[in-house]
Amino acid sequence: GHIVRNWKVRWFVLLQDKLLYYKIEGGKKEPSPKGRILLDGCTITCPCLEYENRPLLIKLKTKTNTDYFLECCSREERDSWALDITGAIHAGHPVQVQELHKMKNSFKLLENISLHHIVERMCDNTTGIKLTRNLEQGNRYKETFTGSALVDWLISNSFAVSRFEAVTLASMLMEENFIKPVGARSTEATRYSDLSEQFLDDSTALYMFAESSNKNISSKEELQFNISELSGTIVKQGFLVKQGHKRKNWKVRRFVLRADPAFLHYYDPTKEENRPVGGFSLRGCLVSALEDNGVPAGVKGNVQGNLFKIITKNDIHYYIQASSKAERTQWIEAIKPLT
């Protein structure tokens, strides 16, 4: 409500240019609308986290700066309403509407992704994710958060633009041991081999911060690199997603392409030290794009397209995903002359 800040049940009807709401009397909506929200010039916020105990909110701000807070009955209903309302706001721009629907399952790498920075923001006492006590199957867990709460937080803080992308990012946080599953629901999901299925966008799946979010690699695990291979001229660098050799999972890595000598190294963006976690000589390598209409043998898990492969002269296969076909082409064209 605008005058008395209470919450009331209303029946909503979405039209092309406005959102009507009706009072409910005796289980039926009244014939005339109680009010209307003109959508022209509106901005929508979903998820809206302004009310800590109401995670299912949509916020609409009109062009006259009037705020409407609408609470849905489920996350699925909230996200469906938000998508349709956004489509109505952009009804005069069919291309934008089409892009909105594509965005639901889009994956675009953040150019300046830093998992350390995300975790620092999550831990902030004021703006971070809210830690609560939760009960699951008779067990009490302190200082936990739900999977859906983390997804909402990542989107509202502009770390992700869709729930799909937020789940992928949350999976990376879990894979790098910044967060961990607690309880049967979330722990069971980690048994899936597909990284995208290991983190649950679910209000019953519980997670917490890992005890050691700053992992230190033991001296036995450290990779030794010859100083000469890191002394080449940097030709290209950027973030790509690479499939692991052992677990076949996908991780964001910062790739650096060097010439004279020709090497491709990759770095862990969660580590503050400027030390590669892997790399190989490009002499004698084969690099090629992989078609998006099928997943080749040896590739598992979260494959979103724009895939290319590098085979070293020792017959080691590297599978890498770019954020777009254009970026994939740029990397291939930069690598080929150095092989």
* 3-state SS, one letter per residue, for 263-323: EEEEECCCCCCCCCCEEEECCCCEEEECCCCCCCCCCCCCCCCCEEEEECCCCCEEEEECC
What pLDDT, in 10s, does the model give residues 62-98? Answer: 988 889 999 988 777 887 888 888 888 877 555 554 5
Contacts (Cβ under 8 Å, ≥6 apart) of 29: 11, 22, 23
Q: Which CATH number fits domain 10-104: 2.60.40.10, 3.90.380.10, 2.30.29.30, 3.40.50.620?
A: 2.30.29.30
Judge whether residue 107 has pLDDT over 60.
no
CATH 3.40.50.300, domain 229-336, yes or no: no
Q: Which of 48-62, 80-94, 99-113 has the lowest mean pLDDT?
A: 99-113
Euclidean distance between CA atoms 154 and 115, whole angstroms: 12
282 phi/psi in degrees, rounded to 5: -90, -5
Q: Which CATH number fits domain 115-214: 1.10.10.10, 1.20.1270.10, 3.30.70.260, 2.40.110.10?
A: 1.10.10.10
Count of C-beta atoms within a 10 Å radius of residue 8:
10
Q: What is the mean pLDDT of residues 44-67?
A: 84
Calculate Rg over the CA atoms of the chain.
24
Q: Do domains 10-104 and 229-336 have the same CATH topology?
A: yes
Euclidean distance between CA atoms 284 and 163, whole angstroms: 41
Is the pTM value of this prediction over 0.75?
A: no
Contacts (Cβ under 8 Å, ≥6 apart) of 305: 292, 321, 325
Pick the residue with more confidence: 39 or 224? Answer: 39
Q: Where are the domains of the chain?
A: 10-104, 115-214, 229-336
